[in-house]
Amino acid sequence: MSPRFPDSVNRARRAVEAALDPAGLNLVACSGGADSLALAAAAAFHQRRLAGEKDTKRPDGERAGAPARVGAVVVDHGLHPDSEAVTATAAAQLRGLGLDPVLSVRASVDPDSAEGPEAAARTARYRAFAQALTQTGATRILLAHTRDDQAEQVLLGLARGSGTRSLAGIPAVRGPFRRPLLSLTREQTEEICAHARLRPWQDPANSDPRFLRSKVRTEILPYLESQLSGSIRESLARTAQIAAEDADHLDQQAKASFAQLLHDPGPEGQLRMELEALLAAPPAIRRRVIALAVVAAGGANPSFERLMAVEKLLGRTGSAGPIELEGGVSAHRGTRGSPDYAKLVIVPRLN
């Protein structure tokens, strides 16, 4: 006898339940595509329980946990001629699922941004999310990234020559954001939509090879599947999980080392650390400590190239700096005769 519900429905509901804040309002971020509508369908199951419907047990017979309030936010990037209609259709389907409130937010995307179109859209989208959190008082936003998205992210990280944190891919938890569907595939989200009789929108940008992620999705990953391994997506997602665990451990070690290496603040809040102690640290920890110092001084997380430039200051040969870093922060080596001799000095940005 076939199960009452597809296994993908059960898996999505369990994953979403673990991601919900039972004490606050949760918003599902929805584009109208299959992934986010499937997420909304799984979240709506828990919203219906709150509304007092009879469906208070999971399909597998287990008693579900405490109900949670679930709404949604639909972000209109304005990048497609029919974006208003797509947004309206998505919002109507979300209300039909019983989600409340359902917000529609227009994101302002700068078409001339130096970030590029994909990054500019992402920046605008997260700005819209922040607006939705403030407007509703929601405590969490659920995002619909899948295992396929995770595989694409790892592949992009490999192409950039990034480190462990980048290879860790898309985090399941970051601030108010939760991504409960990272263990499900895009095919499974389409199955969930079919089961819930939802009509997903097919964004043409997702198959446009002019965009790097779309090229990875439609050309590069299918080629790797046919020529290398049919399970390449699963392998890349597993790589992300392993890299995330490794990166978390290294980050914790670096935070402990940073606290030990940091001297009393210098003039104007300068951060100072002994060159010898930094050189004695393993490279993976040393670079993270330097990055922590840059961020603590008010800068942005430095690129690998900038970190390598700072590391060259530690050998007491060549230039003593300064090295200009992201966010208006600089680094230099204390010279002989100065109070900062034999120290790396991180100078905060000027306000």
* Confidence at 349, pLDDT banded by 50, 70, 90: confident
**Which one is predicted more confidently, 102 or 212?**
102
In DSSP notation, 9-48 reads: HHHHHHHHHHHS-TTSEEEEEE-SSHHHHHHHHHHHHHHH
- The per-residue pLDDT for range 149-185, each reduced to its tens digit, is 999 999 888 888 777 888 888 999 999 999 999 999 9
Residue ranges, CATH 3.30.465.60, the chain = 262-347
Q: pLDDT tens digit string along 244-261?
A: 999 999 999 999 999 999
Lowest-pLDDT choice from 206-215, 229-238, 243-252: 206-215
Superfamily of domain 7-240: HUPs (3.40.50.620)
Kindly state the tokens that stand for 85.
Answer: 């209609």
pLDDT at res. 4: 66
> By percentage, how much of the chain surpasses pLDDT 70?
89
Q: Average of pLDDT values for 263-289?
A: 88
Take residue 189 and report the two structure tokens written for it: 């989200």
- Which stretch of 37-46, 186-195, 295-304 has the lowest confidence by average pLDDT? 295-304
**How far is the C-alpha of 165 from the C-alpha of 218, rounded, in Å?**
25
State pLDDT tens for residues 35-61: 999 999 999 998 877 655 444 454 454
Question: Above 70 in pLDDT, residue 114?
Answer: no
Tokens 């860790």 belong to residue: 168
Q: Is the pLDDT assigned to residue 80 strictly greater than 70?
A: no
Answer yes or no: is pLDDT of 13 > 90.
yes
pLDDT of residue 66: 47
- Is the pLDDT assigned to residue 203 strictly greater than 80? no
The pLDDT of residue 58: 47
d(CA 289, CA 261): 9
Whole-number average pLDDT of the chain: 85
Query: Could you say which architecture CATH assigns to the domain 262-347?
Result: 2-Layer Sandwich (3.30)
Instruction: CATH 3.40.50.620 in the chain: give the residue spans.
Output: 7-240
User: What pLDDT score was predicted for residue 210?
Assistant: 76
The C-alpha atoms of residue 115 and residue 266 are separated, in whole angstroms, by 35
Stated pTM of the model: 0.80
Helix axes 7-19, 186-196, angle to 10 degrees: 100
Q: At 3, is the pLDDT very low, low, confident or very high (cuts 50, 70, 90)? A: very low
**Three-state secondary-structure class, residue 332:** strand
CB 280 within 8 A of CB 333: no
What is the radius of gyration, based on Cα positions, of the chain? 24
The pair phi, psi for residue 5, each rounded to 5°, is -120, 150
Q: What mean pLDDT is predicted for residues 64-87?
A: 76
> Residue 225 pLDDT > 60, yes or no?
yes
How many beta carbons lie within 10 A of that of residue 154, not counting itself? Answer: 24
